[in-house]
Amino acid sequence: MNINLILNLLKMTVEASTPYLLITIGGVFVARAGVFNISLEGCTEFAAFAGILFGFLSGSILVGVLSAFLVAIALNIVFYLFTVKWNADLTVIGCAVNLLAACIPACLLQALFGTRSNLVATSLIDPMKMKVDVPILRSVPVLNSIFNHQTRITYLTFALVIFLIILMYRTKFGIYVRVTGENIGAAKSVGVKTNRIKLLCLLISAVTCALAGLNLSVEELGIYTINMTANRGFICLSAINCGRKEPHRACVYAVIFGFARALQTILNNYVPVAISSLIGILPYVTIIVALLIVEIPNARKNHLRIFRGA
């Protein structure tokens, strides 16, 4: 196989894994705090939309970036109020956020710009200028081809993942998060303010989802398109489940799904259009295979009679 093709695939894997890693690492904190949040998809979609919309309207990328963070944080605070404070059903509220993310951007695009498909902000944002040249990587042939000329959020993602893993396992806050999710009664008995822990975890998730949305719309394309997240939030829920809510393991699955997305993009350049639509299922097939690999051994360990013949 052509070495340049392999290096290009690995470079694209790094790019494609960035939103998966961000959504997953934030989602792990929420899951470990005992909150089932399926609105990761909607939160990322809203952030991607806000980054382009407000940046385009104001003529400032900084305004777009700040707007994406504010929208994501506001959504997660609303989610917290409904589910944690007012005990609403987690699934219902999560689905509501996702449905709003599917409807509101299209409605606003139609109302403001007369289109329901996309908003182009390339007059303000040049995606090529979003790539960063790292001098220290220039002299390392293979690493230069894979890791150099990535976006700022991509580099930030690696540092953020390491920081949040340390936060989970090496700090008192991380202990409180795990205790809250595993035994909320025990956490309350030792004075842990569990609602505050859940809120902080949701805010961490809001920041990571905002970064993922900005990476997709602002950094990579300078364009917002309807359904830009393309089910990445739901795929990241699978990564969290496959990784047993352990941040390092979940991130490994996030990279695997990013590799599947990159491989899909590469293969589309070598097959007819009719077959490229079929290749589009590759990331979803990867999810099924990963879930089977994780769940079948656990099912066989189960001592219930129904699993003995499996």
Q: In this predicted structure, what is the pLDDT of residue 235? A: 92
Strand partners, 151: 131
Q: In this predicted structure, what is the pLDDT of residue 54? A: 96
Contact 43, 75 (CB under 8 A): yes
Q: In this predicted structure, what is the pLDDT of residue 68? A: 97
Beta-carbon count within 10 A of 130 CB? 20
Q: In this predicted structure, what is the pLDDT of residue 299? A: 65
| Full pLDDT tens readout for the chain, 310 residues | 588 889 999 999 999 999 999 999 999 999 999 998 999 999 999 999 999 999 999 999 999 999 999 999 999 999 999 999 999 999 999 999 999 999 999 999 999 998 888 999 998 999 888 999 999 988 888 899 999 999 999 999 999 999 999 999 999 999 999 999 999 999 999 999 999 999 999 999 999 999 999 999 999 999 999 999 989 999 999 999 989 999 999 999 999 999 989 988 888 877 776 676 667 777 778 878 877 887 777 666 665 554 444 4
Cα–Cα distance measured from residue 23 to residue 217, given in angstroms and rounded to the nearest whole number: 15
Q: In this predicted structure, what is the pLDDT of residue 301? A: 67
Rg, Å, the chain Cα set: 20
Q: In this predicted structure, what is the pLDDT of residue 304? A: 52
Q: In this predicted structure, what is the pLDDT of residue 306? A: 47
Q: What is the DSSP string of the chain?
A: --HHHHHHHHHHHHHHHHHHHHHHHHHHHHHHTT----THHHHHHHHHHHHHHHHHHHT-HHHHHHHHHHHHHHHHHHHHIIIIIS---HHHHHHHHHHHHHHHHHHHHHHHHS-SSEEE-TTT--GGGGEE--GGGTT-HHHHHHHTTEEHHHHHHHHHHHHHHHHHHHSHHHHHHHHHHH-HHHHHHTT--HHHHHHHHHHHHHHHHHHHHHIIIIITTSEEETTTTTTHHHHHHHHHHHTTT-HHHHHHHHHHHHHHHHHHHHHHTTS-HHHHHHHTTHHHHHHHHHHHHHHHHHHHH--SHHHHT-
Q: In this predicted structure, what is the pLDDT of residue 1? A: 54
Tokens of 59: 């003529």
Residue range 3-308 forms a domain whose CATH class is mainly alpha
Contact 224, 217 (CB under 8 A): yes
The maximal CA–CA distance of the chain, rounded, in angstroms, is 64
Closest by CA position to 79, among listed 157, 27, 20 = 27
- Look up residue 117 and give its amino acid: S
In which residue are the tokens 């991380």 written?
174
Closest by CA position to 52, among listed 165, 196, 219 = 219
Contact 265, 279 (CB under 8 A): no
Closest by CA position to 242, among listed 256, 253, 231, 258 = 253
